[in-house]
Amino acid sequence: MSKFKNSTGYKIIENWMHENDWQPFKFQYKTWSKYYTKHSGLVVAPTGFGKTFSVFLAVVIDYLNHPETYKKGLKLIWVSPLRSLAKDLAKAMTNAVEDIGLDWQIEVRNGDTPTNIKRKQERLMPDVLITTPETLHLMFSQKKNSRWFKHLNCIAVDEWHELLGNKRGVLTELAIARLKQLSPKLQIWGITATIGNLDEAQQILIPYQELKTIQIKAKLKKKIDIISVLPDQVETLPWAGHLGRTMSSKIIPIIYENTTTLIFTNTRNQSELWYQIILEEAPDLAGLIAIHHGSIDKKQRNFIEDAIASGILKAVICTSSLDLGVDFKPVDCVIQIGSVKGIARFLQRAGRSGHSPFETSKIYFVPTHSLQLIEVAAVKEAVKQQQIETRSPIVLAYDVLVQFLVTLAVGEGFKKDEIFKVLQQTHAYSYLIEDDFNWAIHFITKGGNTLSSYEEFHKVVLDTDGLFKVKSRRIAMLHRMNIGTIVSDAMLIVKFFSGGYIGMIEEFFISKLKKGDAFVLAGRVLQLKQIKDMTALVTLSKSKKAITPSWKGGSLPLTSYLTHFLRLKLSDALQAKTSEKELKFLRPLLQRQNKASQIPKANQFLVELINTKDGFHLFMYPFEGRLVNEIFAALMSYR
């Protein structure tokens, strides 16, 4: 440790931090020292404590100590799940290296990067490249791509908890495996928030036995103030529903009391509706509030993000588009409208406020119906017990495997035996057997048993040098356009008739509208004029009746961890010793339920049978979330 402390690189960083009146946290120092001893690892720390600098400065220190071992070009690839994070990351890293006096180029490469910048990068890669899993795979599909990666020193995966548990995580695993093949001395680091299976998360990210690995946990606690917003009377809240309009009079004072508030809704539909509700009830906030979600034009989203960072806006109604790591210092308050769906998601959103170290994150929970108050009591208990959901990894995803093999074939090609060994080193394909791998090879070369008669599915050919390659330029182009695992419905561009891009909308919604119908998007009331070439042409409308779009992706299930605590709190609800204000507030409603039926205990399953003039009706209450409900429904209908 003393050898590291006396190293040239550490002393330069120590002096730089001292000049800025900063002191490294213990977890940052430990990360730097372990990187110095050639470890790979996983950094676990709360939002706002400098997780980025823990890994980024580790690479900088190593370079300053051993510049002769670093080659020109890529030194660090930084994988981020969201494109919106890239700009802030690049800015923070650039400011740091400029202050230190290091002549490093830090650039972004993703779907928003202009083509001329990409071509320039391909001629000479920057020292640090901030990218996404999909863009990294796109790079693998370029000819002679291995020259960019053969001297790579480190890959860092930011927000690993967001990638783990979905197919983008599998893409990331495969990207690491490919980079490790090209640069065997590669160090692998991940950055994550706390989840329930950290050891497994580390093993999935770094499955290589020959690497020295470590998990570094910050012994820092982020204070979170969870405040339930209650109506004056329990009867004011509906028994069902997801909008919560009756609570608007409680939300608007919170906006006025704070500098900048992020108002999270679970769907884009809700965000559009709440934007209109707030403007109707507080017209003086016009120009001081905005709406932010994934279907709004990127330029407008960037403008809104800059306005938040500048402290211009009083409130932004948003969805998961602002869930992750963007550092908005003026944000001192978060409001969650409706079900929190999961403990980790709730904490992630709470962390958007009080983003600086040791500041308290403040989050208001606004129920849209009565029983959601039990949900927030459950979240409070889970946070108190530090119980957070696990992220279950995906294994043997054959669609991702086939895509990856074609990606390599479009690029430089691959040798069958070599790539099979590379795949088996990953967690996702550690149980891949040779028969299944041969099936994948047969599928990409002959279209499998089903599509073998169609020439266009004979995508990959075995070359004379033993390499599997894609020879058709058309197939290569089509494949590059479809790399990725994010599934969405057909989207239409929404544009003004006179020109000007507004955003995107799903085809299933717009197909239900007639010419002249008014709908809301990006906080504007628009009138549909015509649909032409996957574009909806619109004008501004003065109509007071407008349809709010719905998006199919807005249906999130409750997590099993949250439902566990929900059942516990429901079981405690009628006990006299209950101190939670949410449960006390709900007592009249729950007493009525207990009188008419029963409140189920944590280990009970409530079933109600009702006989009406329409016949017998059976109601079941598993309190396990929508996924379990759907399985129950399928089983019942099958039997």
Asked if 294 and 367 touch (Cβ cutoff 8 Å), the reply is no
The predicted structure's pLDDT at residue 295: 74
Largest CA distance in the chain: 85
- Choose among 336, 359, 349, 315: nearest CA to 229: 336
Listed by start position, the domains of the chain span 2-217, 224-384, 398-481, 491-552, 605-639
Count the residues in the chain.
639
Is domain 491-552 given the CATH code 2.40.240 in the classification?
Answer: yes
Architecture of the domain defined by 398-481: Orthogonal Bundle (1.10)
Contacts with 123 (C-beta within 8 Å, 6 or more apart), sequence order: none
Instruction: List strands edge to edge, sheet with 331-337.
Output: 224-228, 361-366, 331-337, 260-264, 315-318, 289-292
Bridging pattern class, strands 524-532 and 518-521: antiparallel
Q: Which residues pair with 366 in a beta bridge?
A: 337
pTM summary value? 0.83
- What is the distance in angstroms between the CA of the first residue and the CA of the last residue of the chain? 66
CA 377 to chain centre: 25
The predicted structure's pLDDT at residue 402: 96
R_g of the chain, CA atoms, integer Å: 27
Tell me the three state secondary structure of residue 478.
helix
Tell me the three state secondary structure of residue 372.
helix
Q: For the domain 2-217, what is the CATH code?
A: 3.40.50.300
**248 CB burial (10 A radius; 0-12, 13-18, 19+):** middle
Question: How many C-beta atoms lie closer than 10 Å to residue 575's C-beta?
Answer: 9
Rounded to whole angstroms, how far apart are CA atoms 255 and 315?
A: 7
Tokens of 179: 């980079």
Angle between helices 473-481 and 398-410 (to 10 degrees): 130
Asked if 80 and 108 touch (Cβ cutoff 8 Å), the reply is no
- Choose among 63, 80, 81: nearest CA to 152: 63
**314 CB burial (10 A radius; 0-12, 13-18, 19+):** buried
The predicted structure's pLDDT at residue 557: 63
Question: Nearest 5°: phi and psi at 82?
Answer: -120, 135
10-residue mean pLDDT series, the chain (639 residues):
86 92 92 96 86 94 92 94 81 93 93 90 95 96 94 95 92 97 96 90 95 92 86 71 79 93 86 88 92 80 85 89 70 88 84 78 88 85 84 93 96 95 96 96 90 82 91 92 76 78 72 80 79 81 74 58 82 74 83 86 88 89 81 82
Tokens of 241: 């529903």
Question: How many C-beta atoms lie closer than 10 Å to residue 557's C-beta?
Answer: 17
Q: What is the DSSP letter of 223?
A: -
Rounded to whole angstroms, how far apart are CA atoms 348 and 194?
A: 10
Tokens of 57: 């400065």
- Choose among 497, 639, 559, 570: nearest CA to 339: 559
Bridging pattern class, strands 106-109 and 289-292: unpaired
Rounded to whole angstroms, how far apart are CA atoms 620 and 602?
A: 15
- Tell me whether domains 224-384 and 491-552 share a fold: no
Which helix H or strand E contains 76, and what residues bound it? strand 76-79
The predicted structure's pLDDT at residue 519: 83
Asked if 547 and 513 touch (Cβ cutoff 8 Å), the reply is yes
Rounded to whole angstroms, how far apart are CA atoms 410 and 388?
A: 41
Asked if 353 and 324 touch (Cβ cutoff 8 Å), the reply is no
Tell me the three state secondary structure of residue 356.
coil
Contacts with 118 (C-beta within 8 Å, 6 or more apart), sequence order: 109
Bridging pattern class, strands 213-217 and 40-44: parallel
Architecture of the domain defined by 224-384: 3-Layer(aba) Sandwich (3.40)
Asked if 372 and 241 touch (Cβ cutoff 8 Å), the reply is no
Rounded to whole angstroms, how far apart are CA atoms 604 and 571?
A: 9
Listing DSSP states for 561-597 in one string gives HHHHHHHHHHHHTT-TT---HHHHHHHHHHHHHHHHS
Alpha helices in 319-433 (DSSP H): 343-350, 372-384, 398-410, 416-425
